[in-house]
Amino acid sequence: MDSLRTPIPSSMRLITFGLNHKTAPVELRESVAFPEASLSQALTQLRQLPEVQEALLLSTCNRTEIYACVDENMDSQIASWLQQQAGQGLDLSRYLYQHADRDCVLHAMRVASGLDSMILGEPQILGQMKQSYQAARDMQATGPLLSRLFEHVFSVAKLVRTETEIGANPVSVAFAAISLARQIFADLGEQTALLIGAGETIELTARHLAEQRPCRMIVANRSVERAQRLAHRHHGYAISLEDIPTHLSEADIIISSTASAEPVLMLADVKAALRKRRHKPVFMLDLAVPRDIEPAVGKLEDVYLYTVDDLKNVIADSLRSRQQAARAAESLIQLRAEEFMHWLVSRDASSTISALRERAQAEQAALLERAQRMLAQGKPVDEVLQFVTNGLVNKLLHHPSTALRSAGAEEQAQLLEAAVRLFDLDEKQ
């Protein structure tokens, strides 16, 4: 579409830097994951970068992305800032992607609609984007450009969900987690499950798990009260994170998804639990980024440890029915992105028109002042009117005429075409 190929015609640009489950493994994603407690500080640092005028930071288990409105006349330091967060031991350059202007708009719409998710069409990412947007607004990190963009993005995501079948069939990280557990254990009804965390992912996991009627369900969370509410809904038992080592040996299935910046399940605790289990195998699924389960646990002989990245194959089988809906969603997004680009162009045109009017009014005021002096000096009215009209024509056309004469051949052709259209000229004259 022609309008989508048009860059934002101003000194400000929309830009996205990020990495996700498609471009980077979990060990790199967790190095730049921003828990809620550190989000405010990170946004403050971003806004202090010289070129950044507006900023929003999205951080989930599958992606970390920075959306920003930047000064196009300055070199961007966002990628360098993100690299600093990861530390010197990790090189993010191979894994980062960057989108500008129309591509930034399209990417944001795809992400919000679930088209860029590990699980095609999953709805959780839209809620996460809304939370990130609200956090940025609360900090006054967003301005007119990002605010308009994300309000448009959210309306498009809602439209995609209502007008396509992208959300049909039960496909989610939680659903895939239980599907993977069923591949390990033929009958979950004989197993005890330990769920660590009490957020949305664990709530969905508990719901899918309850349908399999496990022998027992234990929910561990930093807030025991929240764990109790979740456990009660599914006839489970609630414990605190500190009590996990005591109950670890009871669990055949362990699924963890917390917002902890550090692992909550350590190698020493798992080793001790395996001795009590007499090395009976245990299935573990770490859905958190940063990871909840110390990676070395995966090397233990009787542990089957998977991360969120390992769900890709499980998910693939459940997504085929959504592919056609995704194509319809892409077409809808292209159209809505065109609308947003038209708004950006018209927004810039408005400021140009205002500047043009201001210049014309300034020239008119200067000529009017001279005309009044001439009348005061007794000059004939006809002579003054001739001076004013000639002067106004010369003043308004001087710069356009000079630009047309001094332009190179290719640029001159473009300017001439624009002049004919702007001034409604008859090219045959």
Arithmetic mean of pLDDT, 75-103: 90
Arithmetic mean of pLDDT, 352-360: 74
C-alpha 171, offset from chain centre? 21
Residue 377 domain-assigned?
no
Q: What amino acid is encoded at 284 in this protein?
A: M
Contacts (Cβ under 8 Å, ≥6 apart) of 388? 367, 368, 371
CA angle 131, 133, 137 (to 5 degrees): 115
The reply to whether 19 and 146 lie within a common domain is yes
- Residues with catalytic annotation? 61
Q: Specify the residue for token string 């591509």.
A: 103
Taking residue 423's Cβ as centre, other Cβ atoms within 10 Å add up to 9
What is the tens place of the pLDDT at every residue in 241-263? 999 999 999 999 999 999 898 99
Cβ pair 52, 12 in contact under 8 A = no
Residue 7 domain-assigned?
yes
Task: Give the Cα separation of 184 and 45 in Å (integer).
Answer: 45
Residue 20 domain-assigned?
yes
Cβ pair 204, 214 in contact under 8 A = no
Residue 408 domain-assigned?
no
Query: What is the band of 421 on the pLDDT scale with cuts at 50, 70, 90?
Result: confident
Task: Give the Cα separation of 153 and 127 in Å (integer).
Answer: 12
Arithmetic mean of pLDDT, 304-323: 78
pLDDT at 240 (0 to 100): 95
Arithmetic mean of pLDDT, 137-143: 93
Residue of 166 and 193 predicted with greater confidence: 193
pLDDT for residue 57 is more than 50: yes
Exposed, middle or buried: residue 162 (CB in 10 Å: 0-12, 13-18, 19+)?
exposed
C-alpha 276, offset from chain centre? 45
* Interaxial angle between packed helices 323-376 and 102-112, expressed in degrees from 0 to 180 and rounded to the nearest 10: 140
The reply to whether 129 and 204 lie within a common domain is no
pLDDT for residue 428 is more than 60: no
The pair of structure tokens assigned to 299 is: 């090397």
Total domains present in the chain: 2
Query: What is the band of 402 on the pLDDT scale with cuts at 50, 70, 90?
Result: confident
The reply to whether 269 and 291 lie within a common domain is yes
pLDDT at 9 (0 to 100): 45
The reply to whether 194 and 163 lie within a common domain is no
Query: What is the band of 149 on the pLDDT scale with cuts at 50, 70, 90?
Result: very high
What is the tens place of the pLDDT at every residue in 198-212? 888 898 889 888 888
The reply to whether 12 and 151 lie within a common domain is yes
pLDDT at 17 (0 to 100): 95
The reply to whether 20 and 137 lie within a common domain is yes
pLDDT for residue 167 is more than 80: no
Classify each residue of 53-90 as buried b or exposed e, where b means 16 or more C-beta atoms within 10 Å of its C-beta.
Answer: bbbbbbbbbbbbbbbbbbeeeeebebeebbbebbeeee
Q: What amino acid is encoded at 325 in this protein?
A: A
pLDDT for residue 131 is more than 90: yes
Cβ pair 286, 96 in contact under 8 A = no
Dihedral, CA atoms, 276, 278, 280, 285, nearest 10 degrees?
A: 40
Query: What is the band of 171 on the pLDDT scale with cuts at 50, 70, 90?
Result: low
Q: How far is CA 245 from CA 171, 291, 307, in A?
A: 32, 18, 21
**CA nearest 199: which of 263, 124, 258, 256?**
258
Dihedral, CA atoms, 269, 273, 275, 280, nearest 10 degrees?
A: -140
Arithmetic mean of pLDDT, 339-355: 71
pLDDT at 321 (0 to 100): 64
Contacts (Cβ under 8 Å, ≥6 apart) of 301? 279
Residue 189 maps to which CATH number? 3.40.50.720
Write down which residue in 298, 316, 334 finishes a domain: 316
pLDDT at 23 (0 to 100): 95
| Backbone torsion region of residue 7, taken as left when φ is above 0, otherwise alpha when ψ lies between -120 and 50, otherwise beta | beta
Considering all CA atoms of the chain, what is the largest pairwise distance in Å, rounded to the nearest integer? 114
Identity of the highest mean pLDDT range in 155-159, 163-167, 180-184: 155-159
Query: What is the band of 3 on the pLDDT scale with cuts at 50, 70, 90?
Result: very low
Query: What is the band of 75 on the pLDDT scale with cuts at 50, 70, 90?
Result: confident
| Parent domain of 276 | 173-316
Q: How far is CA 410 from CA 124, 370, 402, 414, in A?
A: 50, 40, 16, 7
What is the tens place of the pLDDT at every residue in 16-47? 999 999 999 998 999 999 988 899 999 999 99
Residue 417 domain-assigned?
no
Residue 359 domain-assigned?
no
Long-range contacts of 155-159 (CB under 8 A, 24+ apart): 156/109, 156/112, 156/113, 156/332, 156/333, 156/336, 157/109, 157/112, 157/113, 157/114, 157/126, 159/332, 159/336
pLDDT for residue 396 is more than 80: no
Residue 383 domain-assigned?
no
Residue 363 domain-assigned?
no
pLDDT at 263 (0 to 100): 93
The reply to whether 6 and 118 lie within a common domain is yes
The reply to whether 85 and 138 lie within a common domain is yes
The pair of structure tokens assigned to 108 is: 């944001």
The reply to whether 12 and 131 lie within a common domain is yes
Contacts (Cβ under 8 Å, ≥6 apart) of 271? 300
* Interaxial angle between packed helices 78-86 and 36-47, expressed in degrees from 0 to 180 and rounded to the nearest 10: 140
Q: How far is CA 38 from CA 59, 73, 223, 283, in A?
A: 11, 30, 20, 32
The reply to whether 22 and 97 lie within a common domain is yes
pLDDT for residue 7 is more than 70: no
What is the tens place of the pLDDT at every residue in 215-250? 899 999 999 999 999 999 998 999 999 999 999 999
pLDDT at 196 (0 to 100): 96
Query: Has this prediction a pTM greater than 0.75?
Result: no
Contacts (Cβ under 8 Å, ≥6 apart) of 125? 60, 62, 111, 112, 114, 117
Arithmetic mean of pLDDT, 7-23: 81
The reply to whether 203 and 146 lie within a common domain is no
The reply to whether 195 and 328 lie within a common domain is no
